[in-house]
Amino acid sequence: MSDTLFTKIINREIPADIVYEDDLCLAFKDINPQAPLHILVIPKKPIAMISNATNDDENLLGHLFLKAGDIAKDQGYGEAYRLVVNNGEDAGQTVFHLHIHIIAGRSLKWPPG
C-alpha cells in the first residue's frame, strides 16, 4: 500500500488535530466534519480497507472499535454516536487507509446515505 494522507498524518508529515494516540492507532478530527463531532480512528498498520483485513488483524480491529467508543465518551457523546466504516469507492471510501468515523452531536437519520 502506498503512503496515503493518513500515513502522512501518522508520520507527522502533515498536521492534524489529534485527540488520541497509542501504539496501535491514532484519532484526529475530520477536516470536513459532517456533525459537531466527527473524528477518524485509524490503525497505524496500513490496511487499505476492511475487506483487506485478515484474521491476524482481529485484535487490532477490536481495539479500534473499543477506542472509538472511549473517544466518543471522552468527547461527551458516550451513548449517542455513530461509527461508520466505508469499504471501497462505491461505498464512499475516499482515502484507502482503513478508518472509523465517529459521528455525533446532531440527529442521525436511518438509513444513511
Q: What span, in angstroms and rounded, lies between the C-alpha atoms of 89 and 39?
A: 20
Whether residue 46 is preceded by a cis peptide bond, meaning omega within 30 degrees of 0, is no
Options 38, 63, 97, 99, the catalytic residue: 99
Element (H, E) at 9: helix 5-10
Query: In the annotation, is 99 catalytic?
Result: yes
> What is the pairing mode between strands 100-104 and 82-84?
antiparallel
Q: What span, in angstroms and rounded, lies between the C-alpha atoms of 9 and 16?
A: 6
Contact yes or no for 5/48 (Cβ under 8 A): no
- Residues forming the active site: 99
